[in-house]
Amino acid sequence: LDNTYRPRIEWANIKYQVTPELAVRVGRIALPVFLTADYRKVGYAYPWVRPPVEGYNVLPVTSSDGIDATLRWDLGPVRNASQVFYGHSAVALIAPLHVYGRGGVGISNTSDWGALSVRANMISAEISSDIAVDLFDGFNAFGPAGQALTRRYAMDHKRMTLANIGVNYDPGNWFVMAEAGRTVSHSFLGATRNVYVSAGWRWKSLTPYATWARVRGVGPTLDPGLPAAALPPALVPTAAMLNAGLNTLLIRIPQQTSV
């Protein structure tokens, strides 16, 4: 965002194979979210130029420092891998702005049956951020009305939950895949629903593909903010500036469809 490049370690952990089916890891672990969770930072491993942003950009953090356990088990011809994890994370945006995730807990299950793969997961974490701290300090100065807006929209120890399910059928020469998800943040990030469907055909080293994707905010993307009509005239310009700043945040809740 600020035209600089800073490498960041996504994976750094110690793994202990308790049994042939059960493994435990401690350290920095990539969050097991989305179909491409295991390689979403490795661009040549998926068929697109990039994953659909309508789904893959809804999660502000992609790894956590903590512990996880993965159990592999069979159900008839279906091979399953079930994972539970717990950890914390922090992502630097533009100095001094950060996004912090604390007490992240989640579960993920991947089922493979021949060419068919299904991955379902849910993650919940307490998120905080330096973003717009001054804005919400300004709201707090306006008493109960402003403090209510801060409680509703500030990203300050708010519980964020993401649920996602993805299906991929890939017999080799062609593939069809789709994912759908829902996020709830109780902050200015809002709540969203997202979905995409993608299909492609492999011909030698060429893979033409088509993708349709959509993300929509669930809830308002504008808020009237402080009631300017009820304020003393001297405070109206400040209230209007704060209201405009809040709506600048809310209007960024993703709303788009792409083909």
DSSP 37-57: TTTTT-GGGSSSSS--HHHHT
Give the predicted TM-score (pTM) of the model: 0.86
Give the pLDDT confidence score for residue 112 in this predicted structure: 96
Residue with the larger pLDDT of the pair 97 and 199: 199
Q: Edge-to-edge, what's the strand order for the sheet holding 12-17?
A: 12-17, 22-30, 63-75, 78-92, 98-113, 116-129, 158-169, 174-184, 191-201, 209-217, 256-258
Contact 84, 106 (CB under 8 A): yes
Mean pLDDT over 245-249 rounds to: 94
Contact 256, 214 (CB under 8 A): yes
pLDDT level of residue 78 (50, 70, 90 thresholds): very high
Instruction: Report the SS3 class of residue 234.
Output: helix
Structure tokens at 198: 């993608």
Tell me the one-letter amino acid at 85.
F
Average pLDDT, the chain: 91
Give the pLDDT confidence score for residue 56 in this predicted structure: 87
Beta strand extents in 22-134 (DSSP E only): 22-30, 63-75, 78-92, 98-113, 116-129
What gap in Å lies between CA 221 and CA 254, rounded to an integer? 9
pLDDT level of residue 22 (50, 70, 90 thresholds): very high
Give the pLDDT confidence score for residue 1 in this predicted structure: 65
The 3-state DSSP composition of the chain as helix, strand, coil percent (nearest 5) reads: 20, 45, 35
Q: Which residues pair with 217 in a beta bridge?
A: 192
User: How many Cα atoms are found within 13 Å in the side-chain-facing hemisphere of 102?
Assistant: 10
With a CB cutoff of 8 Å and minimum separation 6, the contacts of 155 are 99, 127, 128, 129, 131, 132, 185, 187, 188, 189
